[in-house]
Amino acid sequence: MDLDAVALIERPQVSRAGATAVPAGFERLFRAEYARVVRVAYRVVGDEAEAEDVAQDVFVSFYRAHPADAAYAAAWLHRAAAHTALNAVRSRSRRTAREERDAAGRDAAGDPEGAALERERAREVRATLARMPRGAAELLALRYSGLSYAEVAAATGTKIDQVGTRLRRAHDAFRKEASRGQHR
Amino acid sequence: MDNIDSNEKLLAMPPLTVDAEAGLARFAATVERTGARPATRSIPPFVFARPAKWLAAAAAVVVVATTLTLTGVADSIFQIFETKQFAAVTVTPTDIKTLSELSQFGKLTWSSQAEPHQVATLAAAMSETGLPGISVRVPASVTAAPKYGAMAKTSATFVFDAATAQRSAAAIGRTAPPMPAKLDGSTLIFSGGPAIVITYGDEAASGALFVGVAKAPTVSSDGATVAELQAYLLSQPSVSPALAAQIRAIGDPASTLPVPIPAGQVQAKNVSVHGTTGLFVGDSTGLGSGVIWQQNGLVYAVGGSLTEAEVLAVANSLK
């Protein structure tokens, strides 16, 4: 992503170009869930622009296949965001070059040291999530994007009283993979 | 706990401001550019649910729903059910919720609860399961590479327990009909798998397809009779009268697996597959559909984000 694209995304008031073909019910769903879908993806990919790309793909998939008023809409979107983001980090090899360009742009804007630390943290989280079992990685992405236990339970199809136990196991798996990564 | 603390620091979400209006504008532009049409009906949930979960739900329905034939002598285990054909049974969300809780009638014990897991090749799946290999002609709309899954045989024992049934009914403010003395403590043994599932694509993408083969699920009993099971299970407060009527109407209860179909979302009908009768579930809009059939003791299923014609073409191409 180049600097112009960063500026475009950060500009606060990007207005919609007139009336769209998107039905009102879907617009409501989009406004209600878009930020959370982006955050779930961001927790995995660690990059704003890529998280928004993932969110857009997820909403297009949902739009084509599910009605906006489906009871499971939010749960589906959250799970799909984690799933699609993990697919992206597991498969993408061009990530490094793009990430370096993005990072250079942000560093130039100020706080290069902080940005470098954040970048290193994002890289470590992403690499660890990519290596660990998919179900556990999805669980951590959902929870650490800010979703409640109830929302995590809905997205993963588990009972709410099992979320805590599954999260503890996911933490163990994360730690194990993280230390394995450090010793490589 | 240390693990969690150090993970929390790593995983803590950095601040992120998301502009939903900008996202919506971009989404609207994509919709206009690609001509994407909004869905008006759901893809059948089973198509994108994990197949194993769906099979587990179907098995749960069998427990409560199957109208079993008379079995033989008590204290011997007889096979009383083998899946040979399928019948659609319309269920409401409430039915699904209550039926999936077997524990309300007694105790379910998994004697071997196999988890489906990915294997590298079809040959590995065949060797692990002992099942014959399957292959299909994949439609052009499906572009993802195949992934192979294998699941070992799964079996579970269910023991009816009158006290549990009473407690479960009391918990929802109802009085359960008394469990017949002969049923209290009697055992059903469920068996499913082994199974092979080939998936192309995933639930987050269009162009998804799955093809599966499994040994036909069976139920055995140590003596409970069809009259007792039907009278007892179908009179439970958690079983709706509409569902009970549909199950009673199944013509060949010893070999017909009731397939739960969410009410109002999808349609089901009999179709011809490989010269036998299969159950087609879905719609003809291409949003999603699936077909399931039985042949020579094996259950086959094909489903995905495909039209009826496509899914039947894939099913008939199966070798």
Residue B7, classified by CB atoms within 10 Å of its CB into exposed (0-12), middle (13-18) or buried (19+), is buried
Q: Is residue A1 part of a domain?
A: no
Q: A42 at the B interface (CB within 8 A)? A: yes
**Secondary structure (3-state) at B88:** strand
Q: Is residue B52 part of a domain?
A: yes
Q: Is residue B212 part of a domain?
A: yes
pLDDT confidence bin for B173, thresholds 50/70/90: confident
Number of domains in chain B: 1
Per-residue model confidence (pLDDT) at position A149: 92
Cα–Cα distance measured from residue A56 to residue B244, given in angstroms and rounded to the nearest whole number: 44
**pLDDT beyond 50 at B53:** no
Residues of chain B in contact with residue A71, where contact means CB-CB under 8 angstroms, are 93
pLDDT confidence bin for B57, thresholds 50/70/90: very low
Residues of chain A in contact with residue B30, where contact means CB-CB under 8 angstroms, are 56, 60
pLDDT confidence bin for A141, thresholds 50/70/90: very high
**pLDDT beyond 70 at B48:** no
Q: Is residue A45 part of a domain?
A: yes
Cα–Cα distance measured from residue B295 to residue B83, given in angstroms and rounded to the nearest whole number: 10
Q: Is residue B20 part of a domain?
A: no
**pLDDT beyond 60 at B89:** yes
Q: Is residue B309 part of a domain?
A: yes
pLDDT confidence bin for B199, thresholds 50/70/90: confident
Choosing among A6, A10, A20, which should be mutated to test the B contact, i.e. which has the most B CBs within 10 A? A20
Per-residue model confidence (pLDDT) at position B65: 38
Residue A94, classified by CB atoms within 10 Å of its CB into exposed (0-12), middle (13-18) or buried (19+), is exposed
Q: Is residue A50 part of a domain?
A: yes
Q: Is residue B17 part of a domain?
A: no
**pLDDT beyond 60 at B290:** yes
DSSP state of B104: G
**pLDDT beyond 70 at A34:** yes
What is the percent of chain A with per-residue pLDDT over 70, rounded to a whole number? 75
Give the pLDDT mean for A86-104: 62
With a CB cutoff of 8 Å and minimum separation 6, the contacts of B192 are: B55, B59, B153, B154, B155, B214, B215, B217
Of the ranges A118-122, B183-187, B258-262, the best mean pLDDT one: B183-187
Give the pLDDT mean for A103-130: 73
Residues of chain A in contact with residue B4, where contact means CB-CB under 8 angstroms, are 168, 171
Per-residue model confidence (pLDDT) at position A167: 93
Give the pLDDT mean for B2-7: 68
Smallest CA–CA distance from B49 into chain A, residue: A157
Q: Which two tokens stand for residue B288?
A: 């999603």
Cross-chain residue pair B25–A63, CB shorter than 8 Å: no
Q: Is residue B267 part of a domain?
A: yes
Q: What is the rounded end-to-end Cα distance, in angstroms, of chain B?
A: 52
Which ipTM did the prediction report?
Answer: 0.79
**pLDDT beyond 60 at B96:** no
**Tens digit of each residue's pLDDT (9 = 90 or more) over B125-172:** 999 889 988 888 888 777 778 888 888 887 778 888 888 888 877 877
**Reported pTM:** 0.50
Cross-chain residue pair B38–A58, CB shorter than 8 Å: no
Q: Is residue A14 part of a domain?
A: no
pLDDT confidence bin for A104, thresholds 50/70/90: low
**pLDDT beyond 70 at B311:** yes
Residue B195 domain boundaries: 42-317
For residues B193 and B114, the answer to whether their CB atoms sit within 8 Å is: yes
Residue A184, classified by CB atoms within 10 Å of its CB into exposed (0-12), middle (13-18) or buried (19+), is exposed
Task: Please name which of A123, A35, A133, A118 lies closest in space to residue A81, comparing C-alpha atoms.
Answer: A35
Q: Which two tokens stand for residue A150?
A: 């109830």
pLDDT confidence bin for A94, thresholds 50/70/90: very low
Q: Is residue A86 part of a domain?
A: yes
**Tens digit of each residue's pLDDT (9 = 90 or more) over B251-265:** 666 677 777 666 665
Smallest CA–CA distance from B203 into chain A, residue: A80
Number of domains in chain A: 1
Cross-chain residue pair A15–B25, CB shorter than 8 Å: yes
What distance in Å separates residue A97's CA from the closest CA in chain B? 22
For residues B223 and B182, the answer to whether their CB atoms sit within 8 Å is: yes
Per-residue model confidence (pLDDT) at position B178: 85
Q: Is residue B287 part of a domain?
A: yes
**pLDDT beyond 90 at B22:** yes
Residue A75 domain boundaries: 23-182
Q: Is residue B13 part of a domain?
A: no
Cα–Cα distance measured from residue B232 to residue B212, given in angstroms and rounded to the nearest whole number: 34
**B227-251: string of b/e by CB count within 10 Å (b at 16+)?**
ebbbebbbebebbbeebbebbeebe
What distance in Å separates residue B278's CA from the closest CA in chain A? 25
Cross-chain residue pair A64–B42, CB shorter than 8 Å: no
* Ranges A52-66, A76-90, B105-119: which has the least confidence: B105-119
Q: What is the mean pLDDT of chain B?
A: 73
Cross-chain residue pair A70–B204, CB shorter than 8 Å: no
Residues of chain A in contact with residue B40, where contact means CB-CB under 8 angstroms, are 67
